[in-house]
A and B are shown apart, each in its own frame.
Chain A
Amino acid sequence: DTGVSQDPRHKITKRGQNVTFRCDPISEHNRLYWYRQTLGQGPEFLTYFQNEAQLEKSRLLSDRFSAERPKGSFSTLEIQRTEQGDSAMYLCASSLGGGGFDEQFFGPGTRLTVL
């Protein structure tokens, strides 16, 4: 499968614990995005990387959230001191970059439940 992959697919944690998610983009894609989706809502943008540089961050990305893409390939999203309001589907997407239309391809998501 050459699509975007995410790991784990499901994560259940207790409030106050830290969690980390991984995203592997499509191999030749240099742009990577994180979104969050709650029930009944569309995905909401969190952050964007061009190669290893984090170029855009949403106001939704509080100081408990940190994202990295150390070698410009896979990315991790860490949530510290999780809260029940963090329960959501965390979606990763990647795109090729360059000019013109730049389709974002989404991974299957990591579903986080905070108890």
Chain B
Amino acid sequence: RKEVEQDPGPFNVPEGATVAFNCTYSNSASQSFFWYRQDCRKEPKLLMSVYSSGNEDGRFTAQLNRASQYISLLIRDSKLSDSATYLCVVRINSGYALNFGKGTSLLVTP
């Protein structure tokens, strides 16, 4: 079983739509949580960290549920430029490595 599980999609949504991605992690020692964005054939870039209290950055909202070991990302008012792969990422307390999910592919259409 992979440590971080995501629905690979693809999610095809029209501009302006709201879309939500979910992710589960298996290691209860996980300490830090992130969403990264990866454009086609490019490197991953940090989108946002995820905090227990939930956090928002513009159109993006991230939530963490430690009891259920579940992370979510909500994108409101989708833009064409949001089309990318969104990677759920977890770091175990004792280590420095980032554990990535497979990613969820999003395509926003006109």
Chain A residues within CB distance 8 Å of chain B: 31, 33, 35, 40-45, 48, 55-56, 58, 91, 101, 103-104, 106-109
B32 touches A108 (CB 8 A): no
The number of chain B residues touching the other chain, given as a range, is 20 to 34
Main secondary structure on B side of the interface with A: strand
With both beta carbons as reference points, the residue of chain B lying nearest to A97 in the complex is identified as B96
Q: Assuming the A-B contacts A40-B8, A101-B49, are A108 and B42 also in contact, with contact meaning beta carbons closer than 8 angstroms in the complex?
A: yes
A96 CB → nearest B CB, Å: 12
Contacts of A101 in B (CB 8 A): 32, 49
Contacts of A48 in B (CB 8 A): 96-97
Contacts of A108 in B (CB 8 A): 42-43
B23 CB → nearest A CB, Å: 11
- Enumerate 29 A-B pairs (CB-CB under 8 Å) in ascending A order: A33-B96, A33-B97, A40-B8, A40-B102, A41-B102, A42-B4, A42-B87, A42-B89, A42-B100, A42-B103, A43-B44, A43-B87, A43-B100, A45-B99, A48-B96, A48-B97, A55-B96, A56-B96, A56-B97, A58-B97, A91-B43, A91-B44, A104-B46, A104-B98, A106-B43, A106-B45, A107-B43, A108-B42, A108-B43
Shortest 7 CB-CB distances between A and B: which pairs? A42-B100, A45-B97, A106-B43, A48-B96, A43-B100, A42-B87, A42-B102
Contacts of A106 in B (CB 8 A): 43-45
Please measure, in the bound complex, the distance between the C-alpha atom of A105 and the C-alpha atom of B51, giving whole angstroms.
Answer: 20
Q: Assuming the A-B contacts A101-B32, A101-B49, are A45 and B98 also in contact, with contact meaning beta carbons closer than 8 angstroms in the complex?
A: yes
Please measure, in the bound complex, the distance between the C-alpha atom of A109 and the C-alpha atom of B43, giving whole angstroms.
Answer: 7
Please measure, in the bound complex, the distance between the C-alpha atom of A108 and the C-alpha atom of B45, giving whole angstroms.
Answer: 10
Contacts of A33 in B (CB 8 A): 96-98
With both beta carbons as reference points, the residue of chain A lying nearest to B43 in the complex is identified as A106
Please measure, in the bound complex, the distance between the C-alpha atom of A112 and the C-alpha atom of B44, giving whole angstroms.
Answer: 18
A43 touches B98 (CB 8 A): yes
